[in-house]
Amino acid sequence: MPKTATHMPSLSDYVDVVGPDIIEELTILAAHAGARSIKMVNSTAVGGGVAEMLHRVVPLLTELGIRVEWDVIEGNDRFFEVTKSFHNALQGNPLQLSDDDFAAYLDCNEANARKMDFDQDLVVIHDPQPAALIAFHEHRANRWVWRCHIDMSHPNPQVWDFLKPYVERYDAAIFSSALFSPQLSVPQFRFFPAIDPLDDKNRPLDDDYVEGVFEKYAVPRDKPVVTQISRYDPWKDPIGVIRAFKMARKYVDCRLLLVGDKAADDPESEKIVERVRAEAGDDPDIHILLFSPSVATEINAFQRGADVILQKSIREGFALTVSEALWKRRPVIGGAVGGIPAQIIDGHTGLLVHSVEGAGLAIRSLLHRPETARRLGENGHQRVKDEFLIIKNLKRYVLLLLALDTPSEQTRLLR
């Protein structure tokens, strides 16, 4: 099996995964939407879940007859420091931003808005970084939607008060969970993200290749491997993962593998990796890998080769990593936050935890009960197949185009 990217899958390749009816339904819906165009805007071409999804959604929507353009905004270090603070504040950090910070944010949005065209029927702006673009494009005849991928359950009021008036200029806002839909004057949709079962991150791999990747990075599989594959970010709680692992290891011998890459728009990851390394000390059973960027088939191999996968987030927009792990039939332990409970039905498709201690117990329990772990992984695979594959996401975009033609009640699900 080739280890690098194969051909880009087209819609017909998904018939074997989801069945012919679902593809036919999608094609009919897209034809109903007619010839339309969408512009996607986000802040990074690689690293993190949004870029991950856009790489696949854009070509497949194009195949459905929708013309899609994807632009990445440009910004200097100062801008990305400020937007990182926005992100942290919107997820609940009690940060205090200065007037200069807000000015730097607006200046960068204005400079990008001047360089970009927005002639498409629908403009989808992803996350807070480019949210103010709309303010510099006053006379618009098309629809604009703000797609929020972050956990907005406890937004810091200073940053949300600043951002909200921009969000309310949009025609609609989309969140990954009804749990953190804020009060807004514009219609809202709930819209799950999705993974691509045929891309290098998720397609089947030979066991030899999986074994080879563990060997390449010197992670022995002589005992069970517990892993978290996530950006090094305090919200993903890598320190909590190490503590939980150390608790579990008192009762069951295992290794911990932490894997993460650096997003281009994240100035903080190096510092966090230093803290993670300090927490791990010189423990020979803890393996910490930092990529910039990582190789998709290798991430796929780490997920397939793991005995237990954690996503012990404290705040989380959705966590594609959970869908990826469940798709590979892995037993997954997830923090009960953001979009994770939509994926992990506790005790059925994985285990939800609320603390380091809970995560430690869950690791022990899954490593002691392989039959339970297998059943959770199997159920998890089915849940992802039903709800979180890219074909469903394409359908949501087509429905969004149609729904915006006739906006009605406030909060809706795009099934």
Give 129's DSSP letter: T
Q: Residues 208, 25: contact at Cβ < 8 Å?
A: no
Contact between 231 and ligand UDP (CB under 6 A)? yes
CB of 228 to ligand UDP, least distance (A): 9
Is residue 237 a contact point for ligand UDP (CB under 6 A)?
Answer: no
User: What are the structure tokens assigned to 166, written together?
Assistant: 């921009």
Q: What angle do helix axes 99-115 and 77-90 make, rounded to 10 degrees? A: 110
Least gap, CB of 387 to ligand UDP (angstroms): 15
- Tell me how many residues contact ligand UDP (CB under 6 A): 18
Minimum CB distance to ligand UDP, residue 362 (Å): 19
318 binds ligand UDP (CB under 6 A): yes
The conformation of residue 8, written as its DSSP 8-state character, comes to P
- Bridge partner residues of 126 (DSSP): 147
Using DSSP bridges, classify how beta strands 286-291 and 255-261 pair: parallel, antiparallel or unpaired: parallel
Q: Which of the ranges 12-20, 203-211, 257-265, 268-276 carries the binding residues for ligand UDP, by CB under 6 A?
A: 257-265
**From the list 26, 113, 259, 359, which residue makes contact with ligand UDP (rule: CB under 6 A)?**
259
319 binds ligand UDP (CB under 6 A): yes
Q: Is 324 in the site for ligand UDP (CB under 6 A)?
A: yes
Q: Are 229 and 321 in contact (CB under 8 A)?
A: yes
- Contact status: 266 vs ligand UDP (CB under 6 A): no
Q: How far is the CB of 407 from ligand UDP (least distance, A)?
A: 28
Nearer to ligand UDP, 236 or 249 (CB): 236
Q: Please identify, using beta-carbon distances, which residue of 132 and 340 lies nearer to ligand UDP.
A: 340
What strands lie across the sheet with 36-42, from one edge to the other? 66-72, 36-42, 122-126, 143-147, 172-175, 188-190, 411-413
Among 299, 308, 326, 373, binds ligand UDP (CB under 6 A): 299
Q: Which residues within the stretch 7-26 sit at the binding site for ligand UDP (CB under 6 A)?
A: none
Tokens of 405: 């033609």
Give, as one character, the DSSP assignment of residue 350. Answer: B
Determine which residue in the list 261, 265, 268, 307 makes contact with ligand UDP, applying CB under 6 A: 261
Task: Output the smallest distance, CB 39 to ligand UDP, in A.
Answer: 21
321 part of the interface to ligand UDP, by CB under 6 A: yes
Please state the separation of Cα 337 from the chain's center in Å: 13
**Residue 202 contacts ligand UDP per CB under 6 A:** no
**Total length of the chain:** 415
CB atoms within 10 A of CB 240: 23
Q: Of 227, 230, 297, 349, which lies in the binding site for ligand UDP, with binding defined by CB under 6 A? A: 230
Residue 345: CB minimum distance to ligand UDP, A? 18
User: Smallest gap, in angstroms, from Cβ of residue 156 to ligand UDP?
Assistant: 18
Map residue 75 onto helix, strand or coil: coil
Which residue in the block uniquely carries the two structure tokens 């949709």?
189
Buried-state track 337-372, b at ≥16 Cβ within 10 A, e below 16: bbbbbbbbeeeebbbbbeebebbbbbbbbbbeeeee
Residue 335 lies near ligand UDP (rule: CB under 6 A): no
Which of residues 44, 129, 228, 294 is near ligand UDP by CB under 6 A? 294
CA angle, residues 299, 251, 364, in degrees to nearest 5 = 50
Find the shortest distance in angstroms from Cβ 147 to ligand UDP: 13
35-94 residues in contact with ligand UDP (CB under 6 A) are 48-49, 52
Task: Identify whether the C-beta of residue 232 lies closer than 8 Å to the C-beta of residue 238.
Answer: yes
Q: Residue numbers of the site for ligand UDP (CB under 6 A)?
A: 48-49, 52, 201, 229-231, 259-261, 291, 294, 299, 318-321, 324
